[in-house]
Amino acid sequence: MTKQGIIERISAELSVKTANVTSIVALLEEGNTVPFIARYRKEVTGSLDEVVIRSIEERLAYLCNLEERKDAVIRSIDEQGKLTDELRDAILGASTLQEVEDLYLPYRPKRQTRATKAREKGLEPLAMLMLERQDVDGDIQEIAALYIDPEKDVSTADDALAGARDIVAEIVMEDAKVRAMARRHFREQGFLETTGAEAQDERMPEYEDYYDYGEQIANMPPHRILAINRGESKGALKVKVSRPDEVLLSAIRGNFVSDDNGIFKDQLDLAIEDGYTRLLCPAMERETRSALTEKAEDHAIGVFARNLRNLLMQSPVSGKVVLGIDPGFRTGSKIAVVDPTGKLLATAVIYPHPPQERRDEAERIVGDLVRKHGVNVITIGNGTASRETEAFVSEFIKNSAHGLSYVIVDEAGASVYSASDMGREEFPDLDVSVRGAVSIARRLQDPLAELVKIDPKSIGVGLYQHDINQARLGETLEKTVESCVNYVGVNLNTASAALLSYVAGISKTVAKNIVSFREENGPFESRAGLQDVPRLGPKTFQQAAGFLRIRSVEDPLAITPIHPESYDVAEAVLILLGSSPEDLLSPEKVTQLRRKLVDVDVKALSEELNAGVPTLEDIVDALRRPGRDPRAELPGPVFRSDVLSMKDLAPGMVVSGTVRNVVDFGAFVDIGVERDGLIHISEMSDSFVQSPHNVVAVGDVVRVKVIKVDSERGRISLSMRIRASDSGED
């Protein structure tokens, strides 16, 4: 397939205009990043979003790899002297890698098999007689006797027939059409059956639902596939694929047995049955399980990425002095106080819980820190001793006169950050455990800036995240973080190297160089100053500049996402409106500018300024809201001053909570007690819900009704189906 053919195929598959796909492919080949293309090349992309552009990027990579594989396969078969025009055309016409590999399978160099041994004994001609000369007359024993050769361990006619059957079995079961038919049959008609481990001590209660279980493969939901895989890997389950064999065997026979009266019919039947049981079924079972797992992993990775995006995009809480607590029992609860910019002000360790129970001392330490630093809010990590610490903080707030509130934050990954090179570089003199408290405090102020310091896989918002392909998971999550960072924008003068490394075009090395340059030379006064940073060349500047923000008189447009390449257009717009770039730094003048922009006719203005309509629309939007953080428009966290426990809950009670995780069967919500409650998908709406993700997202604040409390098992069932007759919020 030619490059143009690939472009046209992508265009058809994704329903995108060929001209737009052509432009995007050219931009990608020039080394442009997806965020840059999506934001700053809308005229040639047709304003396609990142999701579509990434799909084009992925399909382009797959189809180019497919063409390379076709060339390699054709070359290999040709070198063997077995390439026919028909086979070449079939390979060139294949639309997937699987089809190419099926066509190549009979010619792929193999280790020793029963069929290769039979060929070495000179039995291939007899095998071809079985397949091609299905005569109705003759004696197969006499025909087979012609191939007896004791020196090659073919002592009898039956030995010759057995070897020939091995060759036939391999030929039939490696036939591309047979494998495609079998693959379809297994996936559409197959059943996955599970049983518990035979040894009682290997059985695990969490998998008892699968001790005698079966389900049609085509209907299996992703989370069930991953649960079964995990049970199998732990030795708690045995898994097999069953299918209606006779239907498939009959179809295979129909392709190779042309005459039921042929003298080789019985031999062919034996060969096909043997090949089916010995070769095809094990291969198809492996393929089917692999395809099931891949499909489930794709879904799980998508769930993780969606949840991660929602977590990263939570509204920041600005202008607050925060006291963060990383709870603990024996080793104490670690405390860190940070100012509104995230700068560390103080640290401490308190022991309000058993075994020490130095509660009075803990209250005194917290009180001193609150008074000295003007703390506005306390954040508590949701790990070990979280609820005990919450009770302590709630009582402290009740007895104090500081007007404090507290928030429970997800501490997933805090320990990973604490022990990381990044954590050591940022706080070389702090104990590992105290670094976690700093992270917990900062997560409230700016979740995105803090969470980018942690390997995305360590942030617990996934579904069976440790059981799926870690390389694919990591790649997808990296792209998710990159998308969020570039959507929000980054303050060039305060961002960490970790945050800068996710900006389009900026590598980890360049990110460190930016921070070092900033520390040595002071804050950047303009985006153009980036070009003085070592190893930051013109291409990197082009890709990154628009996503970096500065508040500066020297470069007032840098407070917006307007790219430097469009400064002349933005300045022309401002001049036509009787304004100037410097006005963007004055709230009063921005208000006046916003009124003027209401009446702007973008289409007419684009013709006057010879600028593209999409770019001009983005410029007008940016001028209307300079310095805007898109996350600020989202709901903030739930601030609390008192605490609940499971014993305080009763069916019918209505409470507010924060969505912590969204999975296929529902959502887990923190309602301020020691366990998160579950809203099952059936309790999300009075109407049918296709997916929980269509209703809630990580970070959402929701009102829920308690429908069941199981204290013994630590389970809380919640519902979003709240009616006017239900009790008010408790």
Task: Give the pLDDT score at 99.
Answer: 96
Place 135 in a pLDDT band, splitting at 50, 70 and 90.
low
Asked whether 282 and 208 are in contact (CB, 8 A), the reply is: no
Residue range 389-401: average pLDDT? 90
**Superfamily grouping for domain 646-719:** Nucleic acid-binding proteins (2.40.50.140)
Nearest to 723 by CA among 700, 701, 699, 707: 707
- Side chain identity at 410, as an amino acid letter? D
Asked whether 604 and 421 are in contact (CB, 8 A), the reply is: no
Residue range 643-659: average pLDDT? 83
Nearest to 615 by CA among 546, 529, 676: 546
Tokens read off for 261 = 């009266």
Spatial separation of the C-alpha atoms in residues 27 and 46, rounded to whole Å? 13
Task: Burial-class residue 244 by CB neighbours within 10 Å (0-12, 13-18, 19+).
Answer: exposed
Task: Give the pLDDT score at 445.
Answer: 93
- The fold of the 3-107 domain, in CATH, is Arc Repressor Mutant, subunit A (1.10.10)
- The percentage of residues in the chain with a pLDDT greater than 70, rounded to a whole number, is 97
Is pLDDT at 658 greater than 70 in this prediction? yes
Nearest to 491 by CA among 523, 513, 517, 519: 523
Domain boundaries, the chain: 3-107, 114-299, 322-445, 489-549, 551-622, 646-719
CA 238 to chain centre: 29
Buried b (16+ CB within 10 A) or exposed e, 123-151: bbebbebbbeebeeeeebeebbeebeeee
Residue position matching structure tokens 């069953």: 242
Instruction: Please give the backbone phi and psi of residue 511, each rounded to the nearest 5 degrees, phi first.
Output: -60, -45
Task: Give the pLDDT score at 198.
Answer: 78
Task: Give the pLDDT score at 570.
Answer: 97
Tokens read off for 249 = 């065997």
Is pLDDT at 133 greater than 60 in this prediction? yes
Q: What's the mean pLDDT when you consider all of the chain? A: 92
Asked if domains 3-107 and 646-719 share a fold, the reply is no
Is pLDDT at 137 greater than 90 in this prediction? no
pLDDT one-digit tens code per residue, 523-538? 999 999 999 999 999 9
Q: Which CATH code of 3.40.190.10, 3.40.1160.10, 3.30.420.140, 3.30.56.10 fits the domain covering 322-445?
A: 3.30.420.140
Is pLDDT at 469 greater than 90 in this prediction? no
Among positive and negative, which fits the CA dihedral 280, 286, 288, 291?
A: negative
pLDDT one-digit tens code per residue, 620-633? 999 999 998 898 87
Range with the lowest mean pLDDT among 146-160, 170-184, 458-472? 458-472
Task: Give the pLDDT score at 648.
Answer: 82
pLDDT one-digit tens code per residue, 714-723? 899 999 999 8
Place 19 in a pLDDT band, splitting at 50, 70 and 90.
very high
Nearest to 54 by CA among 345, 417, 475: 475
Buried b (16+ CB within 10 A) or exposed e, 529-546: bbeebeebeeebbbbbbb
Residue position matching structure tokens 């070198």: 79
Alpha helical stretches, state H, 3-113: 3-14, 18-29, 34-40, 42-45, 50-79, 85-93, 97-104
Spatial separation of the C-alpha atoms in residues 177 and 200, rounded to whole Å? 44
Is pLDDT at 248 greater than 70 in this prediction? yes
Place 136 in a pLDDT band, splitting at 50, 70 and 90.
low
Is pLDDT at 354 greater than 80 in this prediction? yes
Please provide the DSSP assignment of 658-674 as one string: EEEEEETTEEEEE-SSS
Tokens read off for 691 = 């997916």
Of residues 577 and 465, more confidence is placed in 577
Among positive and negative, which fits the CA dihedral 451, 456, 458, 459?
A: positive
Of residues 364 and 728, more confidence is placed in 364
3 state DSSP class of 362: helix
3 state DSSP class of 620: helix
Question: In angstroms, what CA-CA distances link 79 with 12, 72, 85, 684?
Answer: 35, 11, 14, 62
Spatial separation of the C-alpha atoms in residues 594 and 599, rounded to whole Å? 10
For the domain 114-299, what is the CATH code? 1.10.3500.10
Residue range 107-116: average pLDDT? 92
pTM given for the model? 0.83
**Superfamily grouping for domain 489-549:** Tex RuvX-like domain-like (1.10.150.310)
Task: Give the pLDDT score at 730.
Answer: 46
Of residues 390 and 461, more confidence is placed in 390
Task: Burial-class residue 355 by CB neighbours within 10 Å (0-12, 13-18, 19+).
Answer: exposed
Strands 715-719 and 701-710: antiparallel
- The percentage of residues in the chain with a pLDDT greater than 90, rounded to a whole number, is 75
